Amino acid sequence: MKKDVLAPAAEAFTLTEKLQRGDLLSAACPSRTVLKHITSRWGVLTLMVLEDGQTRRFSELRRLIDGVSERMLAQTLQWLEADGLVNRVAYDVVPPHVEYTLTPLGQQAAQKVRALADWVEVSFPDVQQHWNSKLAS
């Protein structure tokens, strides 16, 4: 059984690497991992929900994001947390209580995600129309 990898192995690269902008078109660029987390099936929806700045509990997120399983939500939140996009605060109480919020970095990402998501929702009728018109051919 293998453990889920949250972040790639740490290389001892320093200044040069840290300061350089990622290049998504290069297969080897680790920025692809970040894109993967953000654009993952549940990552997009999670960021979308948190984008309004509200603090949400795990169970709240689970209810808001229709269809996520607990397993996947937990995994997605861990990815986003590891990337520094979401903040996790756990209270050590008996019925567990954990709160999630976006970090400043996460807010930025979430805004881009929301813009895309909004576009999809708004433009969906157009896409659907295209689907329908293709059926006739």
Partner DNA sequence: TTTCATACTTACCTTTCTGTACGTACTTAC
Partner DNA sequence: GTAAGTACGTACAGAAAGGTAAGTATGAAA
Residue 55 found at the interface with DNA (CB under 7 A): no
Query: Segment 18-77, which members bind a second copy (CB under 8 A)?
Result: 18-28, 30-31, 34-36, 38-39, 41, 44-45, 48-49, 64-67
Residue 39 found at the interface with DNA (CB under 7 A): no
Question: Which strand ranges, in their side-by-side order, compose the sheet holding 97-102?
Answer: 56-57, 97-102, 86-91
Least CB distance from residue 108 to DNA, whole Å? 23
CA-wise closest residue to 36 among 74, 83, 4, 68: 83
Least CB distance from residue 111 to a second copy, whole Å? 9
**Rounded alpha-carbon distances, angstroms, from residue 17 to 31, 46, 53:** 12, 29, 31
Phi, psi of 21, deg, nearest 5: -70, 145
Q: Which helix (H) or strand (E) holds 128?
A: helix 104-135
Task: Name residues whose C-beta falls within 8 Å of residue 68's C-beta, 6 or more positions apart in sequence.
Answer: 42, 45, 61, 62, 76
- Name the residues that contact DNA, by CB under 7 A: 1, 36, 40-42, 57-60, 67-72, 74-75, 77-78, 88, 90, 94-98
Which positions touch a second copy (CB under 8 A)? 1-3, 7-8, 10, 17-28, 30-31, 34-36, 38-39, 41, 44-45, 48-49, 64-67, 82-85, 105, 108-109, 112-113, 115-117, 119-132, 134-136
